[in-house]
Structure 1
Amino acid sequence: MKQNLNLGWLGALGLCVALSATAQEKPADFKSQLPLSLSGEGPWYRLELPLAAQLNASQSDLGDIRVFNAAGEPQAYALAREQAETREQRSLTEVKWFPLYSSADASEAAPSVRVQSSASGTLVEVQPSSQLEAGEEVLRGWLLDASAIKAPLQQLVLDWTSERDGFQRFSIEASDDLQHWQAWGEGQVARLSFADERIEQHEVGLPGQSARYLRLLWSAPQSAPILTSAQLQSTSTSSLPLPLLWSQPLAGSSPKAGEYIWQLPTGLNVERLQVELSQPNSLAPVTLYGRRDNNQPWQPLTSGLLYRLTQNGQDVVQNDLQLTGRNVQQLRLTVDERGGGLGAEAPALKVAVRATQLVFLARGAGPYTLALGNPTVAAANLPLATLIPDYSPQRLKALGQARVDGALQLAASTATPSVAPQASGPDWKKIALWAVLLLGVLALGAMAFSLLRKPAAKT
């Protein structure tokens, strides 16, 4: 009882603190607001954030983004940088197989074997742990080496010599260390002949889990056939990344010959950039550096060769540089001028960042507003699986959609953020809120103290 009381007290205290944090956030606390229009079925809606939203955010990780309803109440939300669809890739891999022998009177037990494998785990040799005399050995099953397959196993495909017809049933076990085995159920293959008809079943379904080794032990009949082929089908799925969003051309400066600097509106996770090559027959080996602000040293990001050459009357242009998505706000390009350079003035620059989806749970009456631009608030986004209890990529794709209503350029709010200090006197509303919360905590503490002092009931 005491433990439950402590947990309840801590949960209530955490709720009070959370309420105090969210109760102070209002749309006017953020420098930019945009109305949203909704379509489709709710209560969850997903919004593809325009690049203007990222450029106007005060925090590079979008921790200052919020959605409010008509009453100014913040909505629960999550951020996603993957599309609502997945890509599935199926592969059929030929694997090595090794016989498993045991004596005829030990047919119910798994064969005891001696295994030799390489440093990577690939099986080299599998031999019985004890020498069996001729005529006593029985082929009980097969050990399959799936160590080269990293994706979940979906299907087993077997082929065997023509001497064995009829149904064959066997158990399937999986292991990663050849010591501990997990049952994967039973499989059945068949080769049947009737008149001039022939029916063959070679495929066996697997549970879609990963394993380095599979052990097949025959139960009906108790001796295994001679395999001629063993294949495993694996399936890997991956979420597709959202497309890139490109900025408008950005102007730069050239502090000295062969060096150009650009200042981004805010810190961005840049994944690609394009340098405008206005002069034909330009050729420039370049090195790109980046940093967050003037107080940090320049860090090398990438290097490459930029060119715009005329061949057969047509321009051949290479003006892209691929980056790793590091967060930067300043970029510096140094040019090896032995190639002719890029001119005295800094060329225009475009940067690309990965698109981001915002998913929110619509609570209360609309219209809803997207707000951002507050450097002091803490991030409030939830994981997608928490926001949507039965989350899946397919479910995400079927959500209703939200769109920014109007121009993508965000206008700064004329209202003074309430987080700024007020010169007109103390904020009595905030003081009253904290007083109520403090009284609630004291009441909970008194309740806990009285319950702890109460004598336990006699049984």
Structure 2
Amino acid sequence: MSQKLNLGWLGAVAMGVVLSVAAQEKPADFTTQVPLSVAGEGPWYRLELPLSVQLNARQADLSDVRVFNAVGDVQAYALAREAAQSSETRTLTEVKWFPLYSSVDATETAPSVRVQSSANGTLVEVQPSSQLEAGEEELRGWLLDASAIKAPLQQLILDWTSELDGFQRFTLEASDDLQHWQSWGEGQVARLSFSDERVEQHEVGLPGQSARYLRLLWITPHSAPTLTSAQLQSASTRSLPLPLVWSQALAGSSVKAGEYTWQLPMGLNVERVQVELSQPNSLAPVSLAGRRDSSLPWQPLGSGLLYRLSQNGQDVVQNELPLSGQIVQQLKLTVDERGGGLGDQAPTLKFAVRATQLVFLARGPGPYTLVVGNATAKAANLPLSTLIPDYSPAKLATLGRAMVDVGVVATQPSTGATSAPIDTNWKKFGLWAVLLLCVVFLVAMAFSLLRKPSAKS
């Protein structure tokens, strides 16, 4: 009991210190002010910060974000910004696969099969529901046994034999009972020859959900390859990361053939980029580099193969590159021109960052205002466990919601945004001067008392 009281007392002290540090700040000290509306039960409210608001910040770590009430009092708040890999443990597991056959002229969506499994659900045998003669059967796809994997599935990695190069597309479904199937979308693998080199794509992203079985059905079965390996990557997480939020298209520039650069609005923890491929049948092996500003050397961020190819009357597009999430403000894409390049004009680029949630403790009268944009503001956010004494991820989901009025996000910079920091500095100087004068007065008084001769008895 005493430990809980001590933790609560320390939390109250920490909150008081933070509020006192920010007590001199006013909404006019910040360049952008956005009204908030709240719904649900308080006194805590959580707000997902729109990227358009974050881009008005003057500091990459959002140290200059604040929430004020109707009378200008700053509110205690916390930021929740989990990195994509912060709480994940990834495991790669080799899984069994079973061929799925149907007759050549079959019209059903998926082949009908007879399944034999063990007591724990592991597949032992998978056979067609009816016996097919040689020449009547066609390989439609594969049934993958993931029953031994308990964690959410993140990635499927395939290897195969095939006499033909090219793309192999398939649909993917998931099930726990082999009776009811849920669509997980489409995937594709590729094996291409490129200027005496082999370019291969083996990985297929999965939605991060658990499933005991996966069903892979080729879109063009007559040219389907034969699998030689199937692996599933799973990830155990203590808490799911916040989703990615994408920017608007960003124009770039090119001063050298095969090199394109983009300037981001500020330094950001970029986790993914998407490059526009406007021309059909584009193929470009690329490498991406980034840096904080022009005075620093370029640092490699990743590489990959971008393409937009026409196949069976449809465009097959791969135009994204994953990044590690380090802070960058400039990006440079270098293209291997042997693939034909991406043209003289720089393509547009979109970038994605991890969503940020702000949780604040409502104090005083509403309405509340979110402000951002102050290069000299000091960080004032608290840990979630301090802001909410009995915090848990489950409780976070039950908090009231705060919402930004999207139509007012593009607020004009406040007229007092430039003069306010100077005025605040003069106030600080005045307070320090008063304190120093008090100290000097006390020292002089003590010195005079020490020099005064003691009274004789």
**Shorter-normalised TM range:** 0.5 to 0.7
Structure 2 Cα separation of the partners of residues 326 and 303 of structure 1: 16
Q: What is the distance in 2 between the residues matched to 1:275 and 1:71?
A: 46
Q: Do the aligned residues in 2 keep the contact of 1:77 with 1:358 (CA within 8 Å)?
A: yes
**Separation in 2 of the partners of 1:81 and 1:15?**
20
Q: Check whether the contact 2:284–2:307 (CA below 8 A) recurs between aligned residues.
A: yes
**Aligned twin of 2:306:** 306
Partner of 2:280: 280
Post-superposition CA distance 1:384-412 (Å, at most 9, x none): 00110100011111111100124264323
* 1:190-269 superposed matches below 5 A: 238-269=238-269
Gaps of 5+ in 2: 1-12, 90-150, 152-234, 445-457
Give the Cα–Cα distance (whole angstroms) in 1 for the partners of residues 55 and 357 of structure 2. 15
Q: Deviations 1:294-346 (Å, cap 9, x if unpaired)?
A: 01110000000000011111110000101111110000000000000000000
Other-structure match for 2:57: 57
CA shift, 1:367, in A, is 1.2
Residue equivalent to 2:380: 380
Contact 2:284–2:337 at 8 Å: present in 1 too?
A: yes
Cα pair distance change 1:18/1:359, threshold 3 Å: closer
Against the structure 1 CA distance between its residues 20 and 395, is the aligned structure 2 distance closer, same or farther, given a 3 Å change threshold? Answer: closer
Offset at residue 16 of structure 1 (A):
10
The unaligned stretches of length 5 or more in structure 1 are 1-12, 90-150, 152-234, 447-459
Q: Work out whether residues 275 and 320 of structure 2, in 8 Å CA contact, stay in contact via their aligned partners in 1.
A: yes
Q: Structure 2: which amino acid aligns with 1:45? A: Y
Distance of 1:435 and 1:19 partners within structure 2: 23
Distance 2:44 2:443 in 1: 38
Counterpart in the other structure of 2:175: none
Give TM-score scaled by structure 2 length: 0.57
- Residue 240 of structure 1 aligns to a residue whose secondary structure is coil
Aligned to 1:294: 294
Equivalent residue, structure 2, for 1:331: 331
Q: Is the 8 A contact 2:307 2:318 kept in 1?
A: yes
For residues 170-212 of structure 1, what are the alpha-carbon distances to aligned partners after superposition, in whole Å with 9 as ceiling and x for unaligned? Answer: xxxxxxxxxxxxxxxxxxxxxxxxxxxxxxxxxxxxxxxxxxx
> What is the CA–CA distance in structure 1 between the aligned matches of 2:382 and 2:238, rounded to whole Å?
22
Change (3 A) 1:61 1:41: same
Against the structure 1 CA distance between its residues 25 and 427, is the aligned structure 2 distance closer, same or farther, given a 3 Å change threshold?
Answer: closer
Counterpart of 1:56 in 2: which secondary structure? coil
Aligned residue number for residue 397 of structure 1: 397
CA distance change for structure 1 residues 428 and 340 in 2, over 3 Å: closer, same or farther?
Answer: closer
1:361 match: 361
1:88 and 1:296 mapped to 2: Cα distance? 32
Amino acid aligned to 1:375? A
Which letter maps to 2:402? A
Instruction: From the superposition, tell whether residues 380 and 298 of structure 1 become closer, same or farther in structure 2 (CA, over 3 Å).
Output: same
Q: Which whole-Å CA distance do the structure 2 matches of 1:438 and 1:252 have between them?
A: 54
Aligned residue for 1:28, secondary structure, equals: helix
TM alignment of 1:310-321, pairs within 5 A:
310-321=310-321
Q: Report 1:447-458 matches (<5 A).
A: none
Q: How many residues align?
A: 285
State the SS of the aligned residue for 1:79. strand
Question: How far apart are the structure 1 equivalents of 2:249 and 2:76?
Answer: 35
**CA-atom RMSD in angstroms:** 3.4
List structure 1 segments (4+ residues) > 3 angstroms apart after TM superposition: 13-21, 418-422, 426-446
The letter for the 1-side match of 2:56 is: N
Matched residues in 1 for 2:22 and 2:439: separation?
18
Q: Quick check: 1:20–1:434 contact (8 Å CA) kept in 2?
A: no
Q: Which residue of 2 aligns with 1:410?
A: 410
Aligned to 2:71: 71
Contact 1:52 1:408 in 2 (8 A): no
Are the equivalent residues in 1 in contact too, given 2:82–2:354 (CA < 8 A)? no
Preserved CA contact (<8 Å) 1:284 1:307 = yes
Asked if 2 retains the 8 angstrom alpha-carbon contact of 1:309 and 1:316, the reply is yes
Q: Would the aligned equivalents of 1:69 and 1:368 in 2 still touch at CA under 8 Å?
A: yes
> What is aligned with 2:111?
none
Matches for 1:20-35 after TM superposition, within 5 Å: 21-35=21-35
Question: Secondary structure at 2:238's aligned position in 1?
Answer: strand
Aligned partners of 1:58, 1:397: CA distance in 2, in Å?
29
Cα deviations by residue, 1:143-175 (Å, 9 ceiling, x for unpaired): xxxxxxxx9xxxxxxxxxxxxxxxxxxxxxxxx
- For 1:76 and 1:251, the matched residues in 2 are separated by 38
Tell me by how many angstroms 1:421 deviates: 3.5
- Secondary structure of 2:59 counterpart: coil
CA deviations 1:102-160 (Å, max 9, x no partner) are xxxxxxxxxxxxxxxxxxxxxxxxxxxxxxxxxxxxxxxxxxxxxxxxx9xxxxxxxxx
Deviation readout 1:335-384 (Å, 9 max, x if unpaired): 00000000000001010111010001111111111011111111111110
Aligned equivalents of 2:282, 2:358: Cα separation in 1: 42
Cα deviation per residue 1:211-243 (whole Å; 9 max; x = unaligned)? xxxxxxxxxxxxxxxxxxxxxxxx965211111
CA contact (8 A) 2:19 2:74 kept: no
Query: 1:276, 1:348 within 8 Å by CA — same for their partners in 2?
Result: yes
- CA contact under 8 A between 2:273 and 2:321: conserved in structure 1? yes
Residue 73 to residue 289, structure 1, CA distance change in 2 (3 Å): same
Change (3 A) 1:275 1:242: same
Alignment partners' CA distance in 1, 2:74 and 2:304: 46
**Does the Cα contact within 8 Å between 2:277 and 2:347 map onto a contact in 1?**
yes
Amino acid at match of 2:240: L
Distance 1:440 1:240 in 2: 54
Tell me the residue number matched to 2:123: none
CA distance in 1, matches of 2:64, 2:22: 13
Q: Which amino acid aligns with 1:25?
A: E
